[in-house]
């Protein structure tokens, strides 16, 4: 009996030591297999159609579950980004989006939370694609200043990378971005086609985000499918007009009820401006109810909310955030989260939604 116990203990010791050595110094075949599995899963594959990936659904308020505002749009073989908030480049990778294949960035306006990740997006697109031409940054008047600022800020970094990797890997001519400005009049419902290539049409339109001006939204059209992105806006008739008959409306949303609770308790945080800011932001973002009214008026097939204010620590608060929104829209309202893929296949009228990470 003692021999059996001793043998069992010996086997246990051997297995423990072997396991420890295996974990602390795993064999190459295991590491190689893991690397292949990870890398092969880092490329999003979609069928021909119009697709939107909610890369970032957050706001300037700190949110552990959401990065800054950014929506990737795939139209056929084209890949775009609408806004580039902090963390956009990281989530591009997590979603399996080939950042080196990015064709252009569209900016809705120049609030810091919508442009904070632009430098990193431009850099990673350049490096990943060995591009010889800068990335087109399309936006309303003022985009020139934004792009020039990021190009200047990354000038030294560009120099370092060329010196390290060589001009063949990272061609100096392809670094940074190129501003492509457009102008809209002061008329509330003014719009303009700002991109029309390879069957992809993008229309920019004014939205209500005063005192921020210019501020716009975008409508993407491809093979009979359409997605409208509101940008930051209060209730806006122009959004309803552009979204009329669209498949999907992706609209920003702020819950006045929840923001007011933060306002009422702002003194608990050592931030002397939080009380004032949480009062100010109420008038230039749409509430979930207002977004629902816009969607109903436009007759869109699907409403997706993004730019969620305030941060929600748990999805159990989704109903509190939505309030009475469902009373104003006959369709289903989706609470957008980082990594959500919205797919509109080109061969039918379906709308498919799933999480990528």
At 216-233, the pLDDT tens digits run: 999 999 999 999 999 999
Q: In what order do the strands lie in the sheet with 135-140?
A: 177-182, 135-140, 104-106, 78-82, 70-75, 49-56, 340-345, 352-355
Model confidence over 4-20: pLDDT tens digits?
Answer: 555 655 555 655 655 55
Angstrom distance (rounded) from CA 184 to CA 213: 10
- Percent of the chain at pLDDT exceeding 70: 90
Active site residue 113: yes
Q: Is 288 helix (H, G, I), strand (E, B) or coil?
A: helix
Query: Residue 257 pLDDT more than 90?
Result: yes
Q: What value does the mean pLDDT of the chain take?
A: 93
Angstrom distance (rounded) from CA 286 to CA 253: 5
Q: In what order do the strands lie in the sheet with 333-335?
A: 191-197, 200-206, 216-222, 225-229, 248-254, 302-309, 333-335
Query: Residue 242 pLDDT more than 90?
Result: yes
Model confidence over 19-67: pLDDT tens digits?
Answer: 555 667 777 866 676 666 666 556 899 999 999 999 999 999 999 999 9
What would the mean pLDDT of 103-116 be, rounded to a whole number?
A: 98
Catalytic-labelled residue, pool 113, 232, 247, 338: 113
Structure tokens at 268: 């608990």
Q: Tell me how far the alpha carbon of residue 94 is from its chain's centroid.
A: 12
């Amino acid at each position: 009996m003692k021999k059996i116990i001793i043998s069992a203990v010996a086997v246990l010791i051997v297995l423990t030591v072997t396991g420890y050595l295996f974990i602390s110094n795993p064999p190459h075949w295991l590491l190689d297999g893991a690397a292949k599995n990870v890398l092969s899963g880092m490329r999003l594959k979609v069928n021909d159609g119009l697709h939107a990936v909610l890369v970032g659904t957050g706001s300037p308020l700190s949110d552990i579950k959401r990065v800054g505002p950014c929506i990737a749009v795939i139209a056929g073989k084209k890949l775009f980004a609408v806004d580039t908030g902090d963390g956009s480049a990281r989530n591009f990778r997590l979603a399996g989006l080939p950042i080196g294949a990015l064709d252009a960035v569209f900016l809705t306006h120049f609030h810091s939370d919508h442009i904070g990740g632009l430098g990193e997006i431009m850099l990673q697109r350049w490096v990943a694609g060995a591009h010889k031409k800068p990335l087109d940054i399309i936006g309303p008047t003022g985009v020139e200043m934004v792009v020039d600022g990021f190009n200047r800020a990354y000038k030294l970094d560009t120099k370092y990378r060329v010196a390290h990797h060589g001009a063949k890997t990272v061609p100096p001519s392809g670094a940074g971005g190129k501003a492509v400005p457009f102008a809209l009049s002061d008329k509330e419902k003014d719009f303009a086609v700002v991109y029309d290539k390879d069957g992809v049409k993008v229309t920019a339109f004014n939205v209500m985000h005063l005192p921020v001006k210019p501020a716009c939204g975008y409508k993407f059209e491809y093979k009979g499918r359409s997605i409208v992105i509101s940008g930051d806006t209060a209730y806006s008739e122009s959004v309803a007009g552009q979204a009329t008959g669209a498949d999907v409306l992706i609209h920003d949303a702020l819950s006045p009820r929840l923001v007011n609770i933060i306002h009422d308790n702002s003194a608990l945080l050592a931030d002397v401006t939080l009380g004032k800011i949480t009062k100010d932001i109420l008038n230039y973002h749409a509430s979930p109810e207002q977004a629902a009214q816009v969607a109903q008026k436009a007759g869109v097939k699907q409403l997706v909310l993004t730019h969620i204010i305030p941060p929600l620590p748990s999805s159990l608060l989704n109903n509190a955030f939505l309030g009475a929104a469902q009373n104003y829209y006959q369709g289903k309202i989706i609470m957008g989260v980082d990594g959500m893929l919205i797919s509109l296949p080109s061969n039918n009228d379906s709308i498919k939604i799933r999480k990528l990470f």
